[in-house]
Amino acid sequence: MKPQRLSNISTPALVIDLSVMENNIRLMAQAFASGPCKLRPHFKAHKTPEIARRQLAAGSCVGITCATVGEAEVAAGLCDDVLIANEVLGNDKCRRVAALAKSIDVKVAVDSEQGLREISMAARDANSEVGVLVEVNIGFRAGTQPGQPAAALAQRVAETDGVRLRGLMGYEGAAMGIPERDKREAAARAAVGRLLVSVTAVSDAGLPCEIVSAGGTGTYDITGRMEGVTEIQAGSYVLMDTEYAKQDLPFAKAFWVLGTVISRPGATTVTADCGHKSCTQDHGMPQVKDLPGATVMFLADEHAMIGVPPGCSLGPGDRVALWPSHIDPTINLHDMIYVAEGEHVVDVWPVAARGYIEQRRES
Ligand SMILES: Cc1ncc(COP(=O)(O)O)c(C=O)c1O
């Protein structure tokens, strides 16, 4: 790679501060270095093999968590133990998971008879075996009801050919974004309690439950310390965002969207080329980095309208940087990440699992 400086790269561009990211990775690995619970970092946060490689190399990891089959196919090149912490339905997707199961230990979440039927049929057709975690509804997006219903579905998994019951998962997503530690802790404990009640019901039925997976960046040291939880699916900690920065976490913001000012339409406004096609706003407006008193007022497709103090000298051609409010969808908008040490670009990493990679494969 020819030497480059951040001031020369084409914008909008995603930039990572390498040493801040590496410190985040180190801190999380340390948090799981001792104790029974381990880390299975979530690939969906960044979809970038070079980052996942560093997370695995730091230790304390049992494998990689993914949200999609496409991510799992990319992650399979990095690690032979992948959890798709999501229900997988549809012939094409189940077939791809069954194919992966021939070369790596891949597990999926199941919360319905239909889901079980589809994945087990695909595995039987491929002559492979797919691991299953029964997903328990602990108050968020998906999952079978806790307790006996979860144990009954686990029983069905255990009786079904082509799949192997590996354990249970739940996602305490409703607790994850609560800024106050005491309220977040109470909400996480209540939610994960429902998962653990289900673990007891499964074990009482004489069924195996070697994996109990839950957690995220906001609860890694709450859920990760609850007896019975074996692994944590945290993802955002690696690069953080302004939403997670509101919490009392030890991790620091390590990435931003770099833009160029293209206009100064008023005394207190500048317009940059980093609109919402490069930086999402689903968790709120991004914040302006290193420019006290500046705020993002509006994101259009290709334009960021930024309010600046009257004396601000920023003008056309100058660079501006935005801290995103939500890591996962922002990174998914970019093909590449520029890796910086100070002003120097030391590497460029492809966001290899971004978008719907199967569409690119078929085109
Ligand atoms: C199933 C699942 N596990 C874990 C996480 C936690 O990720 P993060 O650490 O980025 O909050 C998420 C985030 O949406 C998720 O959907």
Model pTM score: 0.97
Report whether pLDDT(274) > 80: yes
pLDDT of residue 138: 96
Q: State the Cα–Cα distance between residues 294 and 290, nearest whole angstrom.
A: 9
> With pLDDT > 70 as the criterion, what percentage of the chain qualifies?
100
In terms of residues, how long is the chain? 363
Give per-residue pLDDT as tens, 50-95: 999 999 999 999 999 999 999 999 999 999 999 999 999 999 999 9
Mean pLDDT, residues 298-318 taken together: 97
Domain 4-11+250-356: CATH architecture, name and number where available: Beta Barrel (2.40)
Residues in contact with ligand 1 by the CB-under-6-Å rule are 42, 45, 85, 171, 176, 216-217, 233-236
pLDDT of residue 317: 97
Q: Measured from the CA of 244, which atom of ligand 1 is nearest?
A: 11
User: Is CATH 3.20.20.10 correct for 18-238?
Assistant: yes
Res. 48 pLDDT band, cuts 50 70 90: very high
Q: Measured from the CA of 215, which atom of ligand 1 is nearest?
A: 4
* Average pLDDT across the chain, whole number: 97
- Ligand 1 centroid from CA 254, angstroms: 18
CA-based nearest residue to 75, from 92, 100, 57? 100
Res. 360 pLDDT band, cuts 50 70 90: confident
The residue whose CA is least distant from atom 5 of ligand 1 is: 216
- Ligand 1 centroid from CA 233, angstroms: 6
Report whether pLDDT(2) > 80: no
Report whether pLDDT(38) > 90: yes
Res. 361 pLDDT band, cuts 50 70 90: confident
Give per-residue pLDDT as tens, 237-247: 999 999 999 99
pLDDT of residue 362: 76
Domain boundaries, the chain: 4-11+250-356, 18-238
